[in-house]
Structure 1
Amino acid sequence: MEARTKRRVRDPAATRETILEAASNLLAKDGPEGISLSAVAHLAAVNRGTAYQHFETRERLIEATVQWVSDKLFRAVFGDPDTLGERRIEEVDPAAMTERLCDFAMDNPDLCRVWLQQVLASPEPQQDPFWREYAGSFSRFAKSRMAEPGIDSEVLSVVNLAGAFFWPILARAHAVTPRQRLELSRRFSHEILRFSLFGTMRAEAFPEIAARVQPDEGADRN
């Protein structure tokens, strides 16, 4: 009697996750130009037809991969998006949030930089969940009594993310062990917090510059 071949149970959700993880590796390595359905299928060890079943075009695959990375960022920095409503700014711990962001960037430097480039170049960055929450946090902070007047929250969001995502280039070039990388991550988060609290230039030493950046009465950029 012939032995019956045991059929492998298909799990579409797991297959999709495998494809997106492979695509994220190619995105981090070669940017969007390095992504094709054939290359991703090969890396994910699935046939090309299966990849096409999940993503009909290369463009949809790239879009889904950027969203997948955004979800990873969101969960690392803010927690489960399904259980997170709009938080009161007083409930946000900026030190802990900054440290989580820097730690994720240190572990995923190439992926973070490509993600940021894709989101900022998109027609509607606000469609990205992580960007919406991150920039939204700064916008709510800028309108609160805890903030200095005249903050451009969009510019500040880009500056912070760009710094956090590019610092690992130096850090990973000079750090060998995970402990050393963690120390460098903490150095960056510490400086970002110090800069946010105190800045670098004393206004009385630069009166002309101080006058230039003094916010107009009633102005609201956010």
Structure 2
Amino acid sequence: MMEARTRRRVRDPAATRETILEAASNLLAKDGLEGVSLSAVAHLAAVNRGTAYQHFETREKLIEATIEWVSDKLFRAVFGDPETVGQRRVEEVDTAALTDRLCGFAMENPEICRVWLQQVLASPDPSQDPFWREYSGSLQRFAETKLAMPGIDAEVLSVVNLAGVFFWPIFARAHAADDKERDVLGARFTHEILRLSMYGSMNASRFPEVAERLGKGIGQD
């Protein structure tokens, strides 16, 4: 008579951690920071609370890890593999395609993008975040090439661009739109960002006083 064997469930800590982080990101998107607790995340992830505590000792560590997790998703969606992104030359970057990818991710993940941006900008050192560091850094590298107009403040431009791209889906009610409608909304934003980057909004010949002010630089008015 064959001895009965009981199969044990194979544990996969990495997969469990991923499940917890995905659940935490969903709660962040839905309820903001106030809605995130280890108990609520464990319930949504369908793991026991003890398991959640094994991976993240405190609520603060869970939130920090979730923001890092979102940053990695954002980085990969926009720039690609973090291991190879350092090989890019800014002169070879397809700016329009990069903007399309950024807007596309924002349209599909509007709430979590907003939470990510608020957390990163409120942190003592935003440059610790991989996506912010690469995005702002790439604009700075671009500003130092002959492809750019003179006088670009890469840090200010980074905030302006990301605030726009991450808040536009909320204003445009992307969550209530279908795939086709989101594509149209994303295309509208991409078009305007590219138009502003290429041509600006003001006819310089009609605003000589503004041109004079910009020519003087900051603090020289």
After TM superposition, is the score higher than 0.5? yes
DSSP 3-state at the match of 1:81: coil
| 1:172–1:181 Cα contact (<8 Å) kept | no
Distance 1:177 1:88 in 2: 36
Question: Letter of the aligned partner of 2:108 in structure 1?
Answer: D
Match of 1:33 in 2: 34
1:80-159 alignment to 2 at 5 Å?
A: 80-159=81-160
What is the distance in 2 between the residues matched to 1:43 and 1:174?
Answer: 21
8 A contact 1:103–1:185 mirrored in 2: yes
SS of the residue 2:47 aligns to? coil
| Paired AA for residue 178 in structure 2 | T
Deviation string for 1:119-178 (max 9, x for gaps)? Answer: 000011000000000000100011111111111110101111111111112333596321
Partner of 1:11: 12
Partner of 1:191: 192
User: 2:50: which partner in 1?
Assistant: 49
Task: Measure, in 2, the Cα distance between the counterparts of 1:215 and 1:185.
Answer: 36
Q: Which amino acid aligns with 2:126?
A: P
Q: What one-letter code is carried by the residue in structure 1 that aligns with 2:153?
A: D
SS in 1 for 2:6: coil
How far apart in 1 are the matches of 2:194 and 2:80? 21
CA distance in 1, matches of 2:24, 2:13: 16
1:206 maps to what in 2?
Answer: 207
Work out the CA distance in 1 between the residues paired with 2:87 and 2:215.
30
Q: How many residues align?
A: 217
Residue 195 of structure 1 aligns with an amino acid whose one-letter code is L
Distance 2:85 2:140 in 1: 18
How far apart, CA to CA, are the structure 2 residues paired with 1:110 and 1:207? 41
- The question of whether the paired residues in 2 share the 8 Å contact of 1:37 and 1:52 is answered with yes
Gaps of 5+ in 1: none
Distance 1:146 1:215, change over 3 A: farther
Residue 202 of structure 2 aligns to a residue in which SS?
coil
Which aligned segments of 4 or more residues in structure 1 are displaced greater than 6 angstroms?
Answer: none
Whole-angstrom CA distance in 1 between matches of 2:174 and 2:87: 38
RMSD, aligned CA: 1.7
CA deviation string 1:55-107 (max 9, x = no partner): 11111111000000000000000011122215221011110000000000000
User: Structure 1 length as normaliser, TM-score?
Assistant: 0.93
* Contact 2:107–2:174, Cα closer than 8 Å, also in 1: no
8 Å contact 1:150–1:214 — kept in the other structure?
A: no
CA contact (8 A) 2:20 2:52 kept: yes
- Identity rate of aligned residues, in percent? 75
Query: In the aligned structure 2, how far is the partner of 1:174 from the partner of 1:70?
Result: 21
The alpha carbon displacement at 1:183 in A equals 1.2
Letter in 2 for 1:136: G
Judge conservation of contact 1:103–1:182 (CA < 8 Å) in 2.
Answer: yes
SS in 2 for 1:168: helix
Alignment gaps of 5+ in structure 2: none
